[in-house]
Structure formats: C-alpha cells, structure tokens
Structure 1
C-alpha cells in the first residue's frame, strides 16, 4: 500500500480576528516601521520623512489614537496633520465619541431649509444627561469660503511630461463632491467638541485645526521682514586696519558682498510677488517659480522654509473668501 506523502494540511475555520495593539514603545516602533515599509503610512502624516523619522511620526499617531481608545490602523485612518499638529477627520471624531460609552444619542445629517442646505448634529450624554444640537448652514460655509459649486475649475495637470495650468478641469474638491457630508461633519465638530471635550482630550477635528491655522496667518498681515525678523547674528570682530582700509567707509555702511544671499530681501521678494496674485492658481505659479524650499535649503537657511510657507499660506488665506461658490 502506497502512502501519499503530500496530503495537504487541514485548515481551521472560525476564530476571532483581533487587532495587534502594541504595549510598549519598542513594539509601537516595530509596528510603525512595518507600516512605513508597506507604504500604508498616510502622506499627510509623514510628508517627506523616511526611515525611522517616518516611523516616529507613525508611532506618535498610533500613541495619540491609543489615548482616545483607537486601534493602531484605525488611528492611521482617523488622523491628519495640519500645521504640524494632529487632528481628527470628521468620521474619526464621531468614531472616538461613539466608542467612549458615554453616548445616549448621536445623530448627524443634513436638511434643506428655504433652498439652503443645513448640516446638523444632535447628541446627548448618558452619564450627565447633557444634550446639544448644533447646525452649520450653507450661508456660513459660503462666508467661510468653503462652499464651491463650480463644476469645473482651473488647476494644474500633466501634459507632455510637465505640469501646466488648465481651465475647465473637473472640480474634485470635497465641498463640491460631498457637500452633504462636509456640512454635517462641520456641525458635528462644533457639537462634539463642546459636549464631549473630556473624551476628545484636546484633540481638534480637522476643520477647527484649519480654521486656527488660517486665523494665525491672517492675524499678521505685515511683511515678514517687519513682523518676524530673523534673529540678528552676532557681529564679526573688525579686521585690523591697513593702508587700504584705514580711510574706507565704516563697515556697517558697506553693501553685502555680491554673492552673499540676502535672506530678508528674498523673503520680501516672495511676499511682494505673491501680493500681486489674484487667485490660488497664480499663487501656485509664483510659488513654483521661486522654489523657496530648495533655494533656502541650498543657501543654508532651511530653518526659514516654514517662514516662506507662512507667506504663501497667508496670501492664500487672504484670497480664500474670494474663492467661494
């Protein structure tokens, strides 16, 4: 009798699916490195970071989510980063509150009222009995520069292996594609932050985080060179006098060397050029022409890249109300 040496192993059915939840920082970093290596790390979270820098950003996201009761992969889907700070997407905010066990009622949605869309969130706590209903209207969205009902816009597309600005492109902005969801989420953000502040632990939703970032940029409209001057460098000791320099003008009156990079002047040039932009598209064109991040890094001023971005974002914020529907 011949025995079959290749009998396939039996497969078990059933079982319970459980998430891998790291218990130590080392375990968190192991999970984070696997996420980065797999390409699942959100670009909004890691930006241009690579290796352990990217893994550290993922680890912080996982730990932030753990404090709110979220599993690691749920945290990665629920968080974004705005102006360097973690924030929850609209559905992530709702998910955290629902999982808290403190919700007696939570209902979000939208309705039409006098031809205008109105988003709402109605919630109630089961521990204190507190209840709240918050609405966010289409008129409020328009005033905030969020509402955009244009089916086509001007945006950058790739043609002949290069990016160009082109009219008549489909509008893929969330407020155009999903206005019902966006207006309901905005109402939910206001309602749940007020009613469940203890559950959210100070984590803001993406809408409030963007509002704060925009407000910070709008608060200071004076030129960067006046409002946020770069720290002065300590003066260099004067060179010993010589026959050629004894009768020269004082050193402080001398002009910068021809090849010396003028940081203040460069930032002022960017701000002046962006000041002439009339819409978001022209802002992007001017920003691309200056290539500020690469220029500042190559000139040894990488610490001022954020300042350059602030100039751009401030101009966009000034134009933002003009871009509404």
Structure 2
C-alpha cells in the first residue's frame, strides 16, 4: 500500500523569514552594482593581472571588500582569493583593525625576529605574537623567496596578521589567512584557484616534451623549480604568456618558447632574478608612487 508523503508527515522546507529575504534582495542589488563597477575597472590599468577581464571575480572581491570597509579599488587590489578562501595582505588587515578602534604595535623588528602586540578596544588583554626565521622555516613559509630578500617584512606579515585576527576577528569577518600565507599555499599547488602561470606559459612543443621525458636529459628543470618559477611570475603579475616568456628570455639572453625547455641551471638563474626583484604588497607600491609624485612636485 503506497503512502502519500505529501499529506502524511513528509518533511517540509523551513520557511524563509522576512529578514532573510531582505538580506538576499539587498545582496543581489549590491552584487549588481559591484558587477557594474567591476566591468568598468577590469578594463583599466587599475585592475591587477588576475582580475583583468574577469568582472565576476572582481565583483565578488568588491562585495567582500565592502563588508570589511574597503572601497572598490582597494578591494580589487587587496582581496586575494585561492580555493574560494578570501585573504588580505597583513598591512591591510592591520589598517582595518586600527580603523575599528583596536590597537596594534611592533615590539621588535629585525631580519631574524619580529614581535607584534595588539589589544582589543575596551580590553586590558594584550596579545603578543613572535615570528622568527626558525619558526617560518619549520612552518614551510621560507619557500617564498621574499623570506630571503626581505625577511623582516615577511616575518612582520605573519606576526601582524596573527595579532589582527586574534584581537578583531569580527572586523576581518573571521578571515583565516593573510595573503602572504595564501601565496605560499598557491606556490605549493595546495589550493589553486586562479588560472596558473604553468597553464599559460608552459606549453612545450612535442619535441620539448620528448626531451623533458627522456633519460638523456637529466638537467631539465625540476617540478619543484617549475612550481617556484611560476609562483614567482605570478607574484610579479607576469601571468601573461608573452610577458612571462619575454622576461625569462631577457634574463637568459636567448629566446625561450616554453619554460619546460629550461635547464636546472637556467631555472635557478631566473629564480634568482625573481628573488632579487622587489615585490611589495599593492598598497605599499601605491604609497611609494604617491610619495614619488609628491617629491617630484616639490
């Protein structure tokens, strides 16, 4: 005998409350506005490489940025997403936390050790975090070449990010990672999201594939070198195929049609060049440009 589930105890979906529907409608309207702004900005030089001609992703970054107090341009420059997880550069985190009325300060800062402290507004409890080179190496973060070229800034990023998230998780919407941490994860191919530089640049000809797979070519670029190389190119916004290969060719003094054809020695040469090339977070670069403009007008 069949049972009519529509009338005899079938589970029913919970009703959507008026407040929930209002939130959905408000978000939809905000997303529409964000997409309109993103569509215009993604065609300009203000859009970072990973958001060029990607208005949907830029709109999501703008919408998320608005929730933590960033204007659309700042959101596109500072919201970093991998595997669907948003992150902010540590300096941006600190700025948001300070704007919310909390306090963060640096106790110690050297090339081998950085200590940062913070206190939530209205609280007497002080959170203190120390990061040194030994801890960074143990955590695996020193795969990022910036730990060799600018260790103080990288150690500060870890310490400041930890403090900011501890004292004001609400201001940061419970954000789990800093952009600096996510870049290391991306370099390890742990949670890739963006179209990778490997896909864009490494498209070798069949002959090159045969050479790289041949036992007679033991000096070919290693998988670890390849991952580090493409992570470095991403870090410098060289994800465009022609721009990336032009950079590699210039460093090596020969035409390079694919990074798969590099030798281990050549890969090391390019990695050294990338490591020596400063890469500050977007907000730092913008600040430096503003200062340069002011000095030029003086």
Q: Provide the TM-score with structure 1 as the length reference.
A: 0.46
2: CA distance between counterparts of 1:71 and 1:282? 36
More helix by share: 2
Instruction: Measure how far apart 1:216 and its partner are.
Output: 9.3
Between the two proteins, the alignment pairs up a number of residues equal to 181
Q: Which residue of 1 aligns with 2:126?
A: 131
What are structure 1's unaligned runs of at least 5 residues? 1-22, 149-171, 219-268, 270-275, 286-322
Q: Deviations over 1:147-192 (max 9, x none)?
A: 47xxxxxxxxxxxxxxxxxxxxxxx932233221111111111122
What is the root-mean-square deviation in Å for CA atoms of aligned residues? 4.0
Instruction: Measure how far apart 1:212 and its partner are.
Output: 6.5
Q: Deviations over 1:21-52 (max 9, x none)?
A: xx8433322211110121322223x37xx3xx
Distance 1:27 1:181, change over 3 A: same
Distance 1:132 1:212, change over 3 A: same
Matches within 5 A, 1:197-208: 197-203=169-175, 204-208=177-181
What are structure 2's unaligned runs of at least 5 residues? 1-28, 192-212, 214-219, 230-270, 272-298
Residue 25 (structure 2) pairs with residue 27 (structure 1): no
Which secondary structure state, in structure 1, belongs to the residue aligned with residue 162 of structure 2?
A: helix
Instruction: Measure how far apart 1:136 and its partner are.
Output: 0.5
Q: Provide the TM-score with structure 2 as the length reference.
A: 0.50
2: CA distance between counterparts of 1:215 and 1:194? 26
Q: Which residue of 2 aligns with 1:193?
A: 165
Say whether the 8 Å CA contact 1:111–1:118 is kept in structure 2: yes
Q: Deviations over 1:64-103 (max 9, x none)?
A: 01111111111122211223432111111111111112x1
2: CA distance between counterparts of 1:80 and 1:26? 21
Matches within 5 A, 1:1-325: 24-44=30-50, 46=51, 50=53, 54-101=54-101, 103=102, 105-108=103-106, 110-112=108-110, 117-147=112-142, 173-203=145-175, 204-209=177-182, 217=190, 280-281=224-225
2: CA distance between counterparts of 1:284 and 1:100? 37
Structure showing greater Rg: 1
2: CA distance between counterparts of 1:201 and 1:283? 31
Which secondary structure state, in structure 1, belongs to the residue aligned with residue 109 of structure 2?
A: strand
Distance 1:188 1:129, change over 3 A: same
1: CA distance between counterparts of 2:142 and 2:185? 18
Distance 1:32 1:217, change over 3 A: closer
1: CA distance between counterparts of 2:32 and 2:71? 17
User: Which structure 1 residue ranges, 4+ long, deviate > 6 Å from structure 2?
Assistant: 211-216
Distance 1:139 1:97, change over 3 A: same
2: CA distance between counterparts of 1:211 and 1:100? 28
